[in-house]
């Protein structure tokens, strides 16, 4: 993660995150309430040191279905305790004994029937409770950085977990695009494609952090409406536009960087942000070409990530953080601006 620019300078204070699973707790906020009947069983599970695919396979095995019959809204961290929803399609099939899933690393919290399966991106946000241990006693720097983070947010980078252990996903997707390997598993292929897009987004965002434009709108740039995938072109953006400035300050809209693919969002060569993005993407033509060949449509993602309902405590050598983030945002991108990981 040090590859990409820091908004408030690289932290000098060190600390240890994820020494124990309980140091990193995540809970999905699901806006959908299962109806109570239907062919799909929705299961709220608390898992410890298990990844999402491992749990999905356990559900499929117990229910006697294929892995394709199990769905979830989003992937969650391995080294953590996470509350996460899954669904499994059981048309005309007997109800499994779900208690058999319970164990040292897995606990069934809630069960309910529903007419539809759980789809990717159904949850709206995640709530985090983090403990950072062995923090150096430099309260002044930590307080200053947290004040900046809580008021202005942090660059909305994809976290290192998106790129696999030691960044291996990027090497795999480069080999895939070069025709050196084939990936037939649909989910695995999707994960690799997502890694490539995430890397290119981070590259473009890092450029904007470096030139201090990640919190401002360029004229003609697509501005994203908060909490949605809808955007509009800020044709009248300027330092003297009070309406857009007020909407930016109110967090109603956000500047954006690209999730590259086949052109979907119009490009204006006179727009400074598009010019900068194209210059960055030219250095990664292999990844960009692979995404286009895979027929992924381009999209936009907000440049900033804003912790919600946040609380902060620094005492006895530890930092305790509680906050919520919108779906698809990474707690590790918040922490990297505050604390440097201990080696």
* Catalytically active residues, by annotation: 77
Pure H helices in 111-216? 139-152, 168-177, 186-210
Q: At what angle do helices 186-210 and 285-293 cross, to 10 degrees?
A: 140
Token pair in block for residue 237: 């953006």
Token output for 200: 């290119």
Distance CA 204, CA 211 (A): 11
Strands 299-302 and 256-259: antiparallel
**325 - beta bridge partners?**
126
**Angstrom distance (rounded) from CA 136 to CA 335:** 15
User: Residue 131 burial (CB < 10 Å; 0-12/13-18/19+)?
Assistant: buried
Supply the DSSP string of 259-296, one letter for each residue: E-SB--S---TT-HHHHHHHHHHHTTHHHHHHHHHTTP
**Closest alpha carbon to 251 in 301, 209, 212, 302:** 302
Contact indicator for 107, 45 with CB cutoff of 8 Å: yes
Instruction: Tell which residue, 133, 146, 199, 145, has the closest CA to residue 172.
Output: 199
Distance between CA atoms of residues 60 and 208, nearest Å: 44
């Amino acid at each position: 993660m040090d590859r990409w620019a820091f908004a408030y300078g690289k932290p000098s204070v060190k600390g240890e995150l994820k020494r124990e699973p309980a140091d990193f707790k995540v809970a999905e906020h699901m806006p959908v309430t299962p109806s109570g009947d239907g062919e799909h069983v929705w299961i709220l599970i608390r898992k410890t040191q298990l990844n999402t695919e491992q749990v999905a396979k356990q559900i499929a095995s117990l229910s006697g279905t294929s892995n394709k019959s199990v769905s979830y809204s989003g992937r969650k961290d391995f080294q953590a305790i996470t509350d996460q929803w899954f669904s499994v399609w059981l048309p005309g099939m007997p109800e499994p004994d779900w208690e058999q899933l319970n164990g040292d690393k897995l606990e069934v919290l809630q069960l309910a029937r529903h007419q539809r399966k759980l789809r990717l991106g159904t949850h709206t946000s995640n709530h985090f409770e983090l403990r950072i241990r062995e923090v150096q006693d430099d309260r002044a720097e930590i307080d200053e950085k947290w004040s900046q983070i809580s008021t202005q947010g942090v660059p909305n980078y994809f976290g290192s977990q998106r790129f696999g252990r030691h960044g291996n996903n990027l090497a795999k997707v480069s080999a895939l695009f070069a025709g050196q390997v084939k990936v037939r598993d649909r989910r695995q292929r999707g994960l690799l494609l997502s890694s490539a897009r995430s890397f290119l987004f981070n590259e473009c965002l890092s450029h904007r952090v470096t030139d201090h434009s990640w919190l401002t709108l360029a004229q003609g740039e697509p501005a994203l409406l908060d909490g949605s995938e809808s955007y509009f072109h800020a044709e009248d953006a300027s330092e003297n536009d009070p309406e857009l400035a007020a909407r930016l300050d109110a967090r109603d809209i956000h500047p954006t960087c690209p999730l590259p693919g086949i052109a979907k969002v119009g490009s204006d060569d006179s727009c400074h942000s598009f010019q900068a993005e194209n210059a960055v993407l030219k250095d990664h033509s292999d990844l960009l070409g692979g995404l286009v060949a895979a027929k992924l449509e381009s999209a936009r993602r907000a440049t900033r990530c804003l912790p919600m309902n946040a609380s902060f405590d620094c005492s006895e050598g530890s930092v305790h953080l509680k906050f919520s983030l919108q779906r698809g945002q990474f707690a590790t991108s918040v922490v990297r601006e505050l604390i440097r990981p201990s080696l």
